């Protein structure tokens, strides 16, 4: 992004619009592929950005900074939902059950998707985050570290361990060969 972008509201909004498809994809990743929750999280992240509750200081790229805002907003959302569910269980409020989504017509693709999702969920949260940022959002490990708010060394360790574990889990299910 160009220097001074933060000082030009119109240019800043244009840049956010350009990043919107990647931002929504990242929000989906942060929200376990739940489109509704991802849309809510992204909307809240944009509210933080446009109200200047979250401010870009131009020390990183706009994309890296925005992805960090989205990640922290998703984490806050998960925390609020966990507290809400815990409260509901403790006080006997609501008995909603998530029945999941209808299966895809292509059985093999559906199985592979299910296995991949299952493997990703088994990774430690930091491993899952860095893998999603690097592979799905095409960020470098250094940029992913900035988004996650960890050191480059920490992000590299999570990345390496996550890749190894993911490969092991997919090989166990016969999706990849080692």
What pLDDT was estimated at residue 4? 53
What pLDDT was estimated at residue 20? 96
Q: Is the pTM here over 0.85, yes or no?
A: no
Cα–Cα distance, 100 to 34 (Å, whole number): 10
- Distance spanning both ends of the chain, measured CA to CA: 40
What pLDDT was estimated at residue 178? 63
From the first residue on, what is the mean pLDDT of each consecutive set of 10 residues in the chain (178 residues)?
A: 60 92 95 94 94 87 94 89 62 44 52 78 91 83 92 95 90 77
- Per CATH, domain 101-178 is 3.30.565.10: no
What pLDDT was estimated at residue 91? 44
What pLDDT was estimated at residue 104? 40
Task: Assess contact for 161 and 155: CB atoms under 8 A.
Answer: no
What pLDDT was estimated at residue 111? 74
Cα–Cα distance, 35 to 25 (Å, whole number): 9
Cα–Cα distance, 26 to 63 (Å, whole number): 11
Domain segments of the chain as ranges: 1-99, 101-178
Using DSSP, how many helices (H) and how many strands (E) does the chain show? 7, 0
Report the topology of domain 1-99. Rna Polymerase Sigma Factor; Chain: A (1.10.1740)
State the burial class of residue 154 (Cβ atoms within 10 Å of its Cβ: 0-12, 13-18, 19+): middle
């Amino acid at each position: 992004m160009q220097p001074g972008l933060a000082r030009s509201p119109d240019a800043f909004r244009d840049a956010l619009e350009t990043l919107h498809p990647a931002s929504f994809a990242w929000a989906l990743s942060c929200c376990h592929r739940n489109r509704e929750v991802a849309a809510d999280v992204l909307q809240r992240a944009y509210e933080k950005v446009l109200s200047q509750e979250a401010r870009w200081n131009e020390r990183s790229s706009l994309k890296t900074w925005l992805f960090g805002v989205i990640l922290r907003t998703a984490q806050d959302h998960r925390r609020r939902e966990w507290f809400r569910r815990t409260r509901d269980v403790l006080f006997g409020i609501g008995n909603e059950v998530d029945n999941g989504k209808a299966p895809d017509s292509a059985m093999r693709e559906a199985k592979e998707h299910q296995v991949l999702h299952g493997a990703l969920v088994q990774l430690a949260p930091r491993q899952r985050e860095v893998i999603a940022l690097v592979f799905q959002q095409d960020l470098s490990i250094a940029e992913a570290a900035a988004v996650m708010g960890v050191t480059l060394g920490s992000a590299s360790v999570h990345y390496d361990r996550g890749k190894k574990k993911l490969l092991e889990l997919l090989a166990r299910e016969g999706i990849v060969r080692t």
